Amino acid sequence: MSIVRHLYLIGPRGSGKTTVGRLLAENVRAPFVDLDQWIVERTGQTIADLFRTQGEKSFRDWETHGLRWWAEQGGPAAVISLGGGACQREDNQTLIRASGWCVWLRAAPRVLWDRIRGDTGNHPNRPALTDLDGLAEIELLVRERQSGYALCADYTVDTDHELPQTIVGQIAAWLQTVDK
C-alpha cells in the first residue's frame, strides 16, 4: 500500500507519534518526517534550547513554517509527526486539512506521563510548557489541546494499551478506505 496525500500524526507527547510514524511510513512505503527533528536540523538547536533562547512563540512559528513547507512543497506524500501543540494554531489546522489526512493518537494522561518518564533519550530535550510538574502538566495540556486535536483529526486511535504494530494496522486499514 502507498499513500497519495500526507498523513499527519497528532497527539500529546508520549502518544507514540514518532514510534508509530516510523513503522507506518514503512508500511505505506512513504518517507517519515518528524517535524520537531526537521526544526532541530534547521535551527541547529534542540527544542529545549529553542524554547530557552527564543521562546515558545518562536518555536511555534518554526512549527508553522515547517508544516507550511511540507504541506505546500515538501515532495511526495509522507507520514509526518507533528509536535503536541501544532493543532492549536488555526493556520496549522487549515494546512493539515488542505494537504492530507490526520490521525490523532490519543492516550490517558497517566499513560503519557509513564511513557515520557521512560523515554530517557528524549525526556531531557522536552521543555516544560507550564509551571506544573509531570503528570499535572500532562493533564492540563491534554485538556487544553483536546479541541484542537478533534478539529484536525480524520481518525482517532486510542494508544493506551496497544502495541505500535497494532496501531499501525488500525491506521493502515482505515487508510485503505479513504486514501484513494
In a domain, 1, yes or no: no
Give the pLDDT band of residue 128 (cuts 50, 70, 90): low
CATH code assigned at 111: 3.40.50.300
- DSSP per-residue codes, 128-158: --SSS-HHHHHHHHHHHHHHHHHHH-SEEEE
Average pLDDT over residues 126-153: 86
Tell me which residue range forms the domain holding 174.
6-178
Task: Please state, in angstroms and rounded to a whole number, the distance separating the CA atoms of residues 53 and 72.
Answer: 29
Total of domains in the chain: 1
* pLDDT tens profile 55-89: 989 999 999 999 999 998 877 899 999 999 999 99
Which residues neighbour 38 within 8 Å (Cβ) at sequence distance 6 or greater? 66, 70
Residue 179 clears pLDDT 90, i.e. is over it: no
In a domain, 144, yes or no: yes
* pLDDT tens profile 4-62: 899 999 999 899 999 999 999 999 999 999 999 999 999 999 998 998 999 989 999 99
Which residues neighbour 74 within 8 Å (Cβ) at sequence distance 6 or greater? 6, 33
Q: How far is CA 50 from the centre of its chain?
A: 18
Residue 125 clears pLDDT 90, i.e. is over it: no
pLDDT in the model for residue 123: 47
Q: Which of 48, 59, 53 is nearest to 92 (CA)?
A: 59
